[in-house]
Chain A
Amino acid sequence: MAQLFQRRANGIANAVIIGGVLLFAGLCGDIFTFGRSDYWTRVDEPQAQTVPFSHQHHVAGLGIDCRYCHTSVEKSAFAGMPPTETCMTCHSQVWKDAPVLQPVRDSLQNGTPLRWTRVHDLPDYVYFNHSIHVNKGIGCASCHGRVDQMPLTEKVQPLYMRWCLDCHRAPEHHLRPTSEVFNMGYETPTNQIALGHALINQQHVAVEGLSDCYTCHR
C-alpha cells in the first residue's frame, strides 16, 4: 500500500479545483444579477392596496389628469397624495355604495386617513423633487411608466442611483417639451437627441450640476 491515493484522486483533485473556481465566479455573477433582479427591486410587482385603486380606469378610462389628485407635483418636492375628500368628490355620487370603496367612506366618516402601500419608495437620504423634474420636461411616464395601463400600480424602474445618473448625465435622452410632461402616451421622436439638446437650452436645464452629490443627497 505504498500508493496513498487511488488513481481517480487526480481527476477528483482537478475537478475540485476547477469546480471551486467556477463556483466562486458563478456566485459573484448571481449576487450581481440578483441585486438587479426585478424580485429584489420589486419592479413589475403590483402592490396590494386597502382600496384596489386602478390608475388604468381613472387615467385611461376616465381621462383624469395626474394633477387632479397629485396636486402639488408642480409646486413641491412631494407630488401629493389625494386626501380622502378628493376621492369622495366623485364617489359621493358614483359608486357611492360600492363595497370596495367602504374604506374610503369610513375614512371620511371617522377622519382616519387611508393608508396606502408605497410603490415608489426612495431611501430617506435621497431628496427627490417632483416639481423641478416636471417643470423641466421629464414626463411622469419616464420614471413611473405607463401608469395608465396599470390596474394596480407597480414600479417599472429599479430606482437605483446608477439609473438616476444615466439621465442626470445625459438628460437629452429623456427631455420632452413641458407641454407633453403629463402625456402618458408620448412617443419619443426619432430626433430625440437633437430635440433633447434644444430643450436643454430652451427649458434651462443646468446639466453641469446634475451629477453633483448634493443634487440628491444632503
Chain B
Amino acid sequence: MNQQPWRSLDEFADTPEFREWLHREFPPFASEWPNDVNRRHFLKLMGASFALAGLGLSGCTRQPLEKIVPYVKQPEELVPGNALYFATALTLGGYARGVLVESHEGRPTKIEGNPEHPASLGASDVFMQAEILNLYDPDRSKSVLHGNEVTTWDDLLAVVAAERAKWTANAGTGLRLLTGYVTSPTLLDQIAALLKQFPAATWHAHEPLAPLHATTFYDLAKADVIVSIGNDFLGPGPAQLKYTRDFASRRRATNEAANFNRLYVAESTPTNTGARADHRFALAPQALRDFGLAIAKGNAHPKSSATVLDDLRKHAGKSLILVGDSLPDELHQFARAWNQPLQIAQTTVSNVKSFAELIRDIEGGKVETLIILDGNPAYDAPTDFEFAKKLAGVPLRIRLGLHEDETSALCQWHIPAAHPLETWSDARAFDGTATIMQPLIEPLYDGKSVHELLAALTGNVLTSGYEIVRRFWQVQHPDDDFEKFWRRSLHDGVVAETANPFQVLPAVSPNAKPEVEKPANGAVELLFLADPHIQDGRFANNAWLQELPKPFTKLTWDNAALISPATARRLNLANEDVVELKFRGRSVRAPIWILPGQADDCVTVHLGYGRTKAGNVGNNLGFNAYALRTAAAPWGGSGLEIVKTGEHHPLATTQQHQSMEGRDLIRVSTLAEFAKSPEVIAHLGEAPPTASESLYPTVKYSGHAWGMAIDLGACVGCNVCSIACQAENNIPVVGKEEVARGREMHWIRVDNYFHGSPETPRIHFQPVPCMHCENAPCELVCPVAATVHSSEGLNQMIYNRCVGTRYCSNNCPYKVRRFNFLEYDRNKFENAPVLKLLRNPDVTVRTRGVMEKCTYCVQRINRTRIDAENQNRSIRDGEIVPACAQACPGQAIVFGDINDPQSRVSRLKASPLNYDLLAELNTRPRTTYLAKLQNPNPELKEP
C-alpha cells in the first residue's frame, strides 16, 4: 500500500522519545502499541494457521508475552479503565459550540455536545464530531519553521523582540495582523492591547464565507411560518443545532397538540432546509432575487410568492423570512425588520479593517510585517486580489497555523498552532454566551496558541495560555469568589450570564459590495456555495468529512459542478463529464453531476476543494472553485460558459439510485390527512404478517428488549449520526477508490430519495442503521454462528468468530452490513501510529476479512448495565444513548427498552406514525420509523 507519504512520520513515531512519551502519557495503552514484530507475527499467523487447523487458537507460536505499564504517579481523578469527560468549546467560523470531550487515560477519543451550551444543546454537528480527527491529524505541522529550516520558538521570540523594538519606535507602522472571525474575549482583549501599544498597526479580518451584512439569529420555535430565500438555516452554521432542534420541535406529530410550522423554501440548489420544505421553489439566483423582492415589495408576482406573502401576513409577528448571504442587502433589511419580534441575537459589522484594505496597503508598500493567525488566505482569498503574488512584497511574514498549508508556504516563519483541544482559550456562541476552553491533552506537536503568540507580540509577561486566559477572566470578575466562578465555568462549559441578545459581536466586514446584476437572459448562472462537509476548505484534510457522503449527491472525496436534469439534457451532459467552466475571463475544469431539484440554467460549485498543501488526505482532490471567485462576484452571477472537454472524471458516490421505485420505504403524508385518519400511515404500505402466519413460535424476551425509533419528521439529513458513529466505533476510512467499489464502512447511512418530477422533486432523508430484526435473516445463514441474538434481542455480530462468507450481507434486505474487504486498519488513512490514540478502547478494531455493522453501541449498553448492576439498581430510561442518538440535533433517534411501556421509545412505537421498514418480509425489526408529515398550504398546489 501507499507507505511513502507516511515515512517521515513512521520514523518519528518509532523514535525512543516518542515511545517513551507515549508510555508516560498512556500507560495502559502502551502495551497495545503496534510495532513491526506484531505486524510480522500477524503475517506469520496467516500462513501458519493452515497448519494449525483443529485448535481453537490463533497463531503458530504461543501467545506472545506482552508488557503492562503502570503510571509512575497516577492522576488524582483518574480511575484506570474508566473514561473522564471535560467541558470545552470548539469554534466554526469563530462561533463557539460547547462540547463534552471523552478522555481515556489522557487521550481524548470522542466529542459530544454540551447540553448546557445554547449553541449545542447536547447535540453536535459533523464538524464537532470530526474535530477529534483533526487533533490527531498526522499531517499537522510539528515544528517552528524559518523558510524550510526547522527552528525553535525561542528563535522566533528573538525575531519578535527585535521587531518590537522597531514598533515601539515607529508606533507599529507597517505592522498588520490578519485573523479570521474572532469571538474570543481574551483574544479581542489582547488585540486591543496590541493596537493600543502600537497605534499605527492595524487588524484585518478575513473569512472567505463571511456574510456581506449583519447576521441575526431568531427563535424558530416560535415561528408558525418560515420562508427561506436561499438561506440554508438548517445547514452548517453557528446556530445550526439550535435551529434544527427548534424546527424539529414544531414537526412532531407524536405529542398530542401537534402545532406544526410551515416552511417555504426558494433556493437554487437543494439544501437540507429545502429538503424539509413544505413548498420548495427551485429558482436560479436571478429568479430567486426576484422572488424575494416580490415578497419584500409586496407585489404579487410570481403567483407562488403571492400565496407565500399572504401566509406571512396571516402570521405576522409569528413568521420569519430568512434570506441567504448571496442576496442583496435591501432584502436583508426588509427581513430583519419583519423578523424583529423573534430576534434573539445579532452580530453587526465592527471596526475591524477588511481584507481588501490590507491588500491595498500591501500594494501601497505600507506593510512591513504581516502576522497571519490561522485562516488560509493564500488559498481562499478572492482570486482577483492575487494575494499569493502580492504577499511576497511583505518583508516579514509570520504565520500561525495547524498545517504547513498554502499560506505558510509563502511566509518566512511558520508556527505550529495548538489544536483547540490542546490549549486554553475562550469563545462566544452565536448568542454571546462565552465558554472557557480547556485543554484535554498536552500539545502533541508542541504547538502554540494565538494567545501565546499575541502575548509575545505585546511583550506580555504572562506567556502560558492558561495564565493569559485566567487573568483575563479574573479582570472581568474581580470579586473574591473568582476561584468558584472559574471552576464552575470550566465544569459547566459556559460562563454564566454572558448570553446577551442585543450584544454586538465584531463581525468581518465585506471585501467589496457586489455590483447589482441585471438579468442576462438565457445565460447560465454560477453559484458558489461552501462545501457541505469541508466548508471553505479548512476541513479538507479530514478523512472522515471527506468520506462522509454529501447530502443529495452522496458524493465523497470530490466536488462537482451541479446542474439540473433539464439543463444537462439541453447541454447534452452526463455525470462525470469534465467541462470547462468559463466565468468572466477565468476558467476551471470540473466534472458534471446532475442533481434533481437544482434550478435550471444554474451551475452550483462547492468551494473548498482543489487544495495543494492541505496534507496527504486533502491534497489534489476535486477542483478549486476559488479560481472563479472574485471580490466583485463572491457568490457568482450570470454569464457562465460551459465547454465540454470530452474528458471523464470518475466520482465516488455512495448512493447510485435515488428513486424509491414505488416502494414504501419512506412513508410520507400531510398533517391534515393524518389528523383526519391516523391509519393513513398504515395504509401507505404493507403490514407485517401476523405471528400466526409463521411456522415458528415467536421468541419471548423477558428482561430488557432494546429497540430504536427514528422520527423521519425530525430528521434534517445533517449526516451527523454517520460521523458520530464512525468516531464512536473505530470505523475505518477506506478512500475514494474503495468507496467507488461500493465498500464504504459507515454503520448508519442517511439515504436520500427524490420523489416526483426531476424538476420539482420532493426530497426525503432516511437514516438506516442495523434493524436488529427479531427474525434476523442474516443470522440464519451464518455457518459459524458469528451473528446471533442476545437475550435482550440485539443482533450480535462477533468479529473474532467471523470467517467472512459475507452470506449475512447478501441476506440482509436493508444492506446495513459492512465488510472489511482489505486490511483497512492499515491503509494510508489509518496506519499512522498517532491515529491509534484516537481509537475507542471499548470497541474492537476489526481486521480484514470480517463483517461488521451497527451494534446499537453495545459498549455503551454494557457500560451502563455494569454501572447499574454494580449499584444494584435497574437501568433508567434514556440512560443508554447510542452515539447517533446523542449527536442528533433533531432528536430524531430514540433508543430504549421496548419491554417497558413507559419508555420514550415504546411510546413512539405506539404512535400510528410508526411503521416497519420492508414490513412484508416479517423480519420484525427492532428499529422502526415514524412517518414524515408535511404541512402544505392548501391554497398552493404542488410544489
Contact = CB atoms under 8 A, between A and B. Distances in A.
Interface of A: 28, 31-32, 35, 39-40, 42, 47, 71-72, 74-78, 80-85, 107-108, 111-118, 121, 123-125, 127, 129, 131-132, 135-136, 160-161, 203-204, 206, 208-209, 212-215, 217-218
Q: For the side of the interface on B, what is the size category?
A: 35 or more
B705 to A, nearest CB: 12
Nearest to B866: A132
Contacts of B788: 213
A81 B862 CA distance: 23
B790 A76 contact: no
B66 A76 contact: no
A20 to B, nearest CB: 18
Given A82-B70, A208-B791, A72 B843 contact: no
A218 B855 contact: yes
A163 B869 CA distance: 23
B71 interface: yes
Contacts of B81: 72, 76-78, 80
A124 B64 CA distance: 13
Interface stretch (B27-35, B265-273, B295-303, B885-893): B27-35
Contacts of B703: 206, 208-209
Contact of A212 (B23, B67, B791, B842): B791
B55 interface: yes
A32 B56 contact: no
Contacts of A112: 20, 23-24, 72
A214 B862 contact: yes
Contact of A72 (B65, B82, B861): B82
B792 A72 contact: no
Contacts of A213: 788, 790, 796, 798, 801
Given A113-B24, A135-B870, A209-B703, A107 B72 contact: yes
Given A31-B55, A107-B72, A218-B858, A131 B870 contact: yes
Interface string B1-42: 000000000000000000010011001100110000000000
Contacts of B792: 209, 212
Contacts of B23: 112-113, 115
Contacts of A72: 79-82
Contacts of B842: 127, 218
Contact of A80 (B20, B80, B843, B870): B80
16 contacts: A28-B54, A31-B55, A35-B57, A40-B62, A42-B63, A72-B81, A72-B82, A111-B24, A112-B23, A115-B69, A117-B66, A118-B67, A121-B65, A136-B869, A161-B56, A203-B872
Contacts of B27: 81, 113
Contacts of B858: 214, 218
B57 A125 contact: no
Contact of A208 (B54, B702, B843): B702
A157 to B, nearest CB: 14
Interface string B856-877: 0011011000100110100000
B612 interface: no
B800 A116 contact: no
B794 interface: yes
A123 B845 CA distance: 12
A116 B869 contact: no
Chain A residues touching B, majority SS? loop
A124 B844 contact: yes
B74 interface: yes
Contacts of B866: 129, 131-132
A113 B72 contact: yes
Contacts of A204: 869, 872
B741 interface: no
B800 A125 contact: yes
A84 B798 contact: no
Nearest to A47: B65
A83 B702 contact: no
B62 A81 contact: no
A84 B70 contact: yes
A121 B870 contact: no
A121 B72 contact: no
A83 B800 contact: no
Interface string B48-59: 000000111110
A124 B32 contact: yes
A206 B696 CA distance: 27
A134 to B, nearest CB: 9
A76 B82 contact: yes
Given A112-B20, A160-B56, A214 B796 contact: yes
B847 to A, nearest CB: 9
Given A118-B68, A121-B63, A213-B798, A35 B55 contact: yes
Nearest to B867: A131
B60 to A, nearest CB: 12
B445 interface: no
Contacts of A85: 72-74
A69 to B, nearest CB: 9
A84 B74 CA distance: 9
A217 B799 contact: yes
Contacts of B28: 78, 81
Contacts of B79: 71-72, 75-76, 80
A108 B800 CA distance: 40
B66 A121 contact: yes
A54 B79 CA distance: 25
B42 to A, nearest CB: 12
Contacts of A40: 57, 62
Nearest to B65: A117
B790 to A, nearest CB: 4
Given A32-B54, A132-B866, A135-B870, A116 B24 contact: no
Given A111-B72, A218-B855, 4 more contacts: A76-B79, A113-B69, A113-B72, A124-B844
A218 B55 contact: no
A214 B443 CA distance: 37
A116 to B, nearest CB: 5
Nearest to B791: A209
A39 B73 CA distance: 36
A118 to B, nearest CB: 5
Interface string B777-812: 000000000001011101010111100000000000
Contacts of A83: 70-74
Most A CB within 10 A of own CB, among B28, B63, B66, B842:
B63
Contacts of A111: 24, 72-73
Contact of B31 (A39, A118, A125): A118
A72 B81 CA distance: 8
Q: Which 10 A-B pairs have the closest CB atoms?
A: A78-B81, A81-B70, A76-B81, A83-B71, A212-B790, A83-B74, A125-B800, A35-B55, A209-B791, A77-B81
Contacts of B843: 218
Nearest to A74: B870
A132 B851 CA distance: 29
B402 to A, nearest CB: 30
Contacts of A117: 65-68
A217 B67 contact: no
Contacts of B62: 39-40, 42
B800 A123 contact: yes
B384 to A, nearest CB: 55
A80 B62 CA distance: 26
A132 to B, nearest CB: 5
Given A72-B82, A83-B70, A83-B72, A218 B65 contact: no
Given A111-B24, A112-B20, A125-B844, A78 B80 contact: yes
Most A CB within 10 A of own CB, among B80, B800, B861:
B80
A114 B69 CA distance: 6
Most B CB within 10 A of own CB, among A71, A78, A113:
A113
A32 to B, nearest CB: 7
A114 B23 CA distance: 10
Interface in B74-97: 74, 79-82
A77 B867 CA distance: 11
A210 to B, nearest CB: 9
